[in-house]
């Protein structure tokens, strides 16, 4: 019985397709979603720094531009504490 369950599980794993990775690059704020129709070549390209830049690339294609929901802006620089000089009077 265990061998039969193992064989079924092994067959299910072998027939499963590869898992898709994260399509959104968190380093860029804008993504272009490209639709290739029936060929199944739909993909997401998150390498744009602005909506106009993305729209220029998407022009003439079946694509749309949107904000990247996973964009992680860099943290603001730390401010240094101001330490005034003590003047002797």
Rounded Cα gap, residues 70 and 30, in angstroms: 10
In a domain, 8, yes or no: no
Domain count, the chain: 1
pLDDT tens per residue, range 21-77: 557 888 999 999 999 877 777 999 999 999 999 999 999 999 999 999 999 888 888
Rounded Cα gap, residues 33 and 8, in angstroms: 37
Q: Residue 65: beta bridge partners?
A: 32
Rounded Cα gap, residues 74 and 40, in angstroms: 35
Residue 35's domain comprises: 20-73
pTM, to two decimals? 0.57
In a domain, 48, yes or no: yes
Amino acid 25: pLDDT: 86
In a domain, 84, yes or no: no
Residue 1's pLDDT band, with cuts at 50, 70 and 90, is low
């Amino acid at each position: 019985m265990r061998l039969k369950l193992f064989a079924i599980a092994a067959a299910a794993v072998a027939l499963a397709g590869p898992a898709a990775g994260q399509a959104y690059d968190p380093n860029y704020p804008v993504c272009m979603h490209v639709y290739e129709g029936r060929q199944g070549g739909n993909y997401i390209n998150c390498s744009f720094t602005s909506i106009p830049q993305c729209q220029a690339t998407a022009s003439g294609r079946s694509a749309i531009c949107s904000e990247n929901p996973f964009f992680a802006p860099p943290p603001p620089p730390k401010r240094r504490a101001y330490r005034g000089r003590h003047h002797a009077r």
